[in-house]
Amino acid sequence: ATPDSALVVAWNIDAISTFDPAQVGEVVTNELIQNTCDSLVDFDPKDESKVAPLLAKSWDVSEDREQITFHLNGNLKFPDGSPATARELAWSMQRVVLLGYGNASTLTEYGFSKDNVKDRIVASDDSTLVLKLDNPYPTNLILQAIGANRVSALLDMKTLVSKEINGDMGNKYLATNTACVGPYRLVQWNAAESIVLQANDEYYGEKPKLKRVLIRHVAEPGTQRLLLTQGDVDIARDLSPDDLADLDGKPGLKIERVLKPQLFFWTFNAADPIFKNDKVRLAMRYLIDYDGLAKSVMTYLGVPRASFAQLGAVGALDAEEGQPFKLDLEKARALLAEAGYPNGFEASVLFGTLPHSAPIAQSIQQNASKVGVKLNLERMANAQLFSRIRGREFQTGMLAWQTGVPDAHGNASRLVYNPDNRPEAKLTQIPAWRSAYQNEEFNKRIQQALLEGDPDKRNQIYYALQKDVMEQGPMAIMFQMYNILGMSDKVKNWTWNGFRVYYDVVSK
Amino acid sequence: MSDVSRFLIEAVGLSVSFGSQTARTRVVDDVSFHIRKGEAYGLIGESGCGKSTILRALSGLNGEYDGAFLLRDRELPKKRDKDFFRRVQMVFQDPYGSLHPRKIVERVLAEPLAIHGFDRHSERIAETLDAVGLGPSFRYRYPHELSGGQRQRVAIARALIIEPEILLLDEPTSALDVSVQAEILNLLKRLRLERDLTYLMVSHDLAVVAHICERAGVMHQGQIIEELSAQQIRQSQAREDYTRKFLQASIEAVARRTEVEA
Amino acid sequence: MDKPLIDVKDLRIRFESAHGSHEAVRGISFTIGREKVGIVGESGSGKSLTGRSLLKLTPKGAKISATHMRFRDIDLLEASERKMRTIRGNHISMILQDPKYSLNPLMRIGNQIVEAYRLHHRVQPAEAKTRALAMLEAVHIRDPERVFHLFPHEVSGGMGQRIMIAMMLIPEPDLIIADEPTSALDVTVRRQVLTILDELVSRRGTGLMFISHDLNLVASFCDRVLVMYAGRIMEDLPAGDLHKARHPYTQALLESLPRLDHPVEELKVPVRDAAWLNGPVYRNGVLA
Amino acid sequence: MTDKAMTSPNVPSSGLLAWLQAPVPTSPFHARMQQLWQKAWRLRSNVPALFGICVILAILTAALLAPLLATHDIYEQNLAMRLLAPSAEHWLGTDELGRDVYSRLIYGARITLYIALLTTVIVAPIGLLVGTTAGYLGGWVDTVLMRIVDVFLAFPNLILALAFVAALGPGIQNAIIAISLASWPPIARLARAETLTIRKSDYIAAVRLQGASSLRIIFGHIMPMCIPSVVVRVTLNMAAIILTAAGLGFLGLGAQPPSPEWGTMLSSGREFVMTSWWIAAIPGSAILLTSLAFNLFGDGLRDILDPRHG
Amino acid sequence: MADIVHSVPRSDAGDVVKPNPLVVALKIAGRTLLPVFVTLFGLAALTFFIGRMLPIDPVASILGDNATQEAYEKMSRALGMDKPLWYQFGVYVKGILSLDFGQALTTGKPVVEDIARVFPATIELATLAIIIGTGLGIPAGVVAAMYRGSWIDQAIRFTGLIGYSAPNFWLGLMGLVLFYATFGWIGGPGRIDFIYEFDIEPITGFYLIDTVVQGKWEVFRNVFGHIILPASILGFGALAYISRMTRSFMIEQLGQEYIVTARVKGLSWGRTVWVHAFRNVAVQVVTVVALSYAFLLEGAVLTETVFAWPGFGRYLTNALLVGDMNAVVGCSLLVGIIFVSLNLFCDLLYRVFDPRTR
Ligand SMILES: Nc1ncnc2c1ncn2[C@@H]1O[C@H](COP(=O)(O)OP(=O)(O)OP(=O)(O)O)[C@@H](O)[C@H]1O
Ligand SMILES: Nc1ncnc2c1ncn2[C@@H]1O[C@H](COP(=O)(O)OP(=O)(O)OP(=O)(O)O)[C@@H](O)[C@H]1O
Ligand SMILES: [Mg+2]
Ligand SMILES: [Mg+2]
Q: What are phi and psi of D264, to 5 degrees?
A: -65, -40
Query: Hey, which chains touch C, using 3+ CB pairs under 8 Å?
Result: B, D, E
- Cβ within 8 Å, pair C171-E258: no
Query: Hey, which chains touch A, using 3+ CB pairs under 8 Å?
Result: D, E
Our answer on whether the CB atom of B49 is closer than 6 Å to any ligand 1 atom is: yes
User: What distance lies between CA A482 and its chain's CA centroid?
Assistant: 12
Q: What is the mean pLDDT of residues A134-159?
A: 91
Distance CA D4, CA A286 (A): 80
pLDDT at E15 over 50: no
Residue from E164, E161, E137, E132 nearest E285 by CA? E137
- Cβ within 8 Å, pair E19-B21: yes
E340 with E331: CB under 8 angstroms?
A: no
ipTM: 0.83
Chain D residues bordering chain C (beta-carbon distance below 8 Å):
1-10, 21, 37-38, 41-42
Select the highest-mean-pLDDT range: D158-167, E126-135, E210-219: E126-135
Q: Give residue-wise pLDDT tens across range A362-404.
A: 999 999 999 999 999 988 878 788 888 988 999 999 999 999 8
Distance CA D216, CA A412 (A): 72
Give every CB contact of residue B126 below 8 A, 6+ residues apart in sequence. Answer: B136, B139
Question: Which residues numbered 243-262 in D keep a CB inside 8 Å of some CB on E?
Answer: 243, 246, 251
The total of other beta-carbon atoms located within 10 Å of residue A162's CB is: 10
Our answer on whether the CB atom of D3 is closer than 6 Å to any ligand 2 atom is: yes
Which ligand is located closest to the Cα atom of residue B17? 1
How many CA atoms, within 13 angstroms, populate the side-chain half-sphere of residue E15?
A: 4
- The CATH classification of domain E111-357, taken from the options 1.10.150.20, 1.10.3720.10, 1.10.357.10, 2.60.120.200: 1.10.3720.10
Chain C touched by B28 (CB under 8 Å): no
User: In terms of pLDDT, which residue wins out, D240 or A407?
Assistant: A407
Identify whether D258 is preceded by a cis peptide bond (ω within 30 of 0).
yes
Distances (CA, A) of E71 to A400, A425, B243, E170, E326: 22, 14, 94, 43, 20
C86 with C138: CB under 8 angstroms?
A: no
Instruction: Say what the pLDDT of residue E10 is.
Output: 34
Distance CA B105, CA B174 (A): 22
pLDDT tier at E4, thresholds 50, 70, 90: very low
Q: Give residue-wise pLDDT tens across range A55-97.
A: 999 999 999 989 999 999 988 999 888 999 999 999 999 999 9
C9 with C66: CB under 8 angstroms?
A: yes
pLDDT tier at E16, thresholds 50, 70, 90: very low
Task: Give B102 Cα–ligand 2 centroid separation in angstroms.
Answer: 21
pLDDT at B68 over 60: yes
- Cβ within 8 Å, pair D309-E55: no
pLDDT tier at D168, thresholds 50, 70, 90: confident
Type and span of the H or E element at A348 = strand A346-351
Nearest to E55 among A190, A384, A428 (CB): A384
Q: Give residue-wise pLDDT tens across range D57-78.
A: 999 999 999 899 888 888 888 8
Q: What is the mean pLDDT of residues D208-237?
A: 86
Nearest to D275 among A246, A289, A363 (CB): A246
Give every CB contact of residue D57 below 8 A, 6+ residues apart in sequence. Answer: none
Residue from A133, A106, A134, A408 nearest A263 by CA? A408
Q: What is the mean pLDDT of residues E51-77?
A: 70
Q: Give residue-wise pLDDT tens across range A413-467.
A: 999 999 999 998 888 889 999 999 999 999 999 999 999 889 999 999 999 999 9
Distance CA C137, CA D278 (A): 73
Nearest to A363 among D77, D83, D165 (CB): D77
Chain C touched by B205 (CB under 8 Å): yes
* Least confident residue range of B71-85, B120-134, D10-24, E89-103: D10-24
User: In terms of pLDDT, which residue wins out, A150 or E166?
Assistant: A150
Distances (CA, A) of D201 to B98, B105, C68, D196, D198: 7, 18, 44, 9, 5
Instruction: Say what the pLDDT of residue A253 is.
Output: 93
Nearest to C267 among B186, B246, B255 (CB): B186
Instruction: Say what the pLDDT of residue E63 is.
Output: 67
Q: Give residue-wise pLDDT tens across range A334-367.
A: 999 999 999 999 999 999 888 899 899 999 999 9
H helices of B88-147, where? Answer: 105-115, 121-131
Axis crossing angle, helix E312-321 with helix E111-146, rounded to the nearest 10: 120
Instruction: Say what the pLDDT of residue D13 is.
Output: 52
C215 with C270: CB under 8 angstroms?
A: no
Residue from B238, C89, D286 nearest D278 by CA? D286
Which ligand is located closest to the Cα atom of residue C49? 2
- Cβ within 8 Å, pair C26-D38: no
Residue of D nearest to C277 (CA): D6
Our answer on whether the CB atom of C61 is closer than 6 Å to any ligand 2 atom is: yes
pLDDT tens track, chain C, 288 positions:
467 899 999 999 998 766 668 888 999 999 999 899 999 988 888 898 999 999 998 888 889 999 999 998 889 988 898 999 889 988 999 998 778 788 998 899 999 999 999 988 889 999 999 999 999 988 888 889 999 999 888 887 788 888 998 999 898 899 999 988 877 677 777 888 888 888 888 888 899 999 988 888 888 889 999 999 989 999 999 988 888 888 888 888 888 888 877 788 888 887 778 888 888 888 887 887
Instruction: Say what the pLDDT of residue C18 is.
Output: 60
User: In terms of pLDDT, which residue wins out, B19 or E115?
Assistant: E115
Region of B13 please: left (phi>0), alpha (psi -120 to 50) or beta.
Answer: left
Give the long-range contacts of residues D305-309, CB within 8 A, separation 24 or more: D305/D39, D305/D227, D305/D228, D305/D231, D305/D232, D306/D228, D306/D229, D306/D232, D307/B101, D307/B144, D308/E252, D308/E255, D309/E248, D309/E251, D309/E252, D309/E255
β-bridge pairing C74-75 and C68-71? antiparallel
Q: Residue E46 corresponds to which amino acid?
A: L
Distance CA B46, CA B25 (A): 18
Interface test with E, best of B15, B17, B21 (most E CBs within 10 A): B21
Instruction: Say what the pLDDT of residue E11 is.
Output: 36
Distance CA D204, CA D208 (A): 6
Type and span of the H or E element at E103 = none
With H, G, I as helix, E, B as strand and everything else as coil, classify residue C179. Answer: strand
User: Do chains B and E have 3 or more beta-carbon pairs under 8 angstroms?
Assistant: yes
pLDDT at D155 over 60: yes
Q: Give residue-wise pLDDT tens across range D180-220.
A: 888 888 889 889 988 988 888 888 999 999 889 999 999 99
Exposure b/e, B146-169, CB count within 10 A at least 16 = b? bbbbbbbbbbbbbbbbbebbbbbb
Give every CB contact of residue E23 below 8 A, 6+ residues apart in sequence. Answer: none
Cβ contacts from B onto C, under 8 A? 114
The total of other beta-carbon atoms located within 10 Å of residue D18's CB is: 12
Task: Say how many residues make up chain A.
Answer: 508
Distance CA E92, CA E329 (A): 9
Distance CA E254, CA C60 (A): 12
Q: Give residue-wise pLDDT tens across range B25-53.
A: 888 999 999 999 999 999 988 888 888 89
Chain C touched by E18 (CB under 8 Å): no
Q: What is the mean pLDDT of chain A?
A: 91
With H, G, I as helix, E, B as strand and everything else as coil, classify residue D216. Answer: helix
Task: Give C231 Cα–ligand 2 centroid separation in angstroms.
Answer: 9
Residue of C nearest to B189 (CA): C266
Residue of C nearest to B211 (CA): C258
Query: What residues in A contact E57, CB-CB < 8 Å?
Result: 383, 386-387, 390
Q: What angle do CA A288, A293, A299 make, to 5 degrees?
A: 145
Instruction: Say what the pLDDT of residue C19 is.
Output: 61
Residue from B134, B151, B133 nearest B142 by CA? B151
Region of A129 please: left (phi>0), alpha (psi -120 to 50) or beta.
Answer: beta
H helices of D84-201, where? Answer: 101-137, 139-154, 157-168, 172-198
User: What distance lies between CA E188 and its chain's CA centroid?
Assistant: 24
Distance CA E278, CA E138 (A): 10
Q: What is the mean pLDDT of residues E336-351?
A: 81
Residue nearest to atom 4 of ligand 1 (CA): B18
Task: Give C99 Cα–ligand 4 centroid separation in angstroms.
Answer: 14
Question: Which residues numbered 41-80 in B keep a CB inside 8 Å of some CB on C?
Answer: 46-48
What residues does each domain of chain E span? 24-97, 111-357
Q: Give residue-wise pLDDT tens across range D101-137.
A: 999 999 999 988 898 889 988 999 999 999 999 999 9
With H, G, I as helix, E, B as strand and everything else as coil, classify residue A368. Answer: helix
pLDDT tier at E62, thresholds 50, 70, 90: low
Q: Give residue-wise pLDDT tens across range E237-252.
A: 889 889 988 998 898 8
Largest CA distance in chain D: 75
A174 with A96: CB under 8 angstroms?
A: no
Largest CA distance in chain B: 59
Instruction: Say what the pLDDT of residue D308 is.
Output: 46
User: In terms of pLDDT, which residue wins out, A436 or E191?
Assistant: A436
By the 10 Å C-beta count (0-12 exposed, 13-18 middle, 19+ buried), B196 is classed as: exposed
Q: What angle do CA C234, C236, C237 make, to 5 degrees?
A: 140
Residue of D nearest to C276 (CA): D2
Beta strands in A155-301 (DSSP E): 184-190, 194-199, 212-217, 235-236, 253-268
Residue from B106, B152, B147, B124 nearest D26 by CA? B106
Report the atom number in ligand 2 closest to the C-alpha of C46.
18
Distance CA E32, CA E51 (A): 29
Residue from C54, C82, C84 nearest C69 by CA? C54
* Least confident residue range of A338-342, B59-63, D2-6, E5-9: E5-9
A335 with A286: CB under 8 angstroms?
A: yes
With H, G, I as helix, E, B as strand and everything else as coil, classify residue E352. Answer: helix
Q: What angle do CA A346, A351, A357 make, to 5 degrees?
A: 110
Report the atom number in ligand 1 closest to the C-alpha of B25.
5
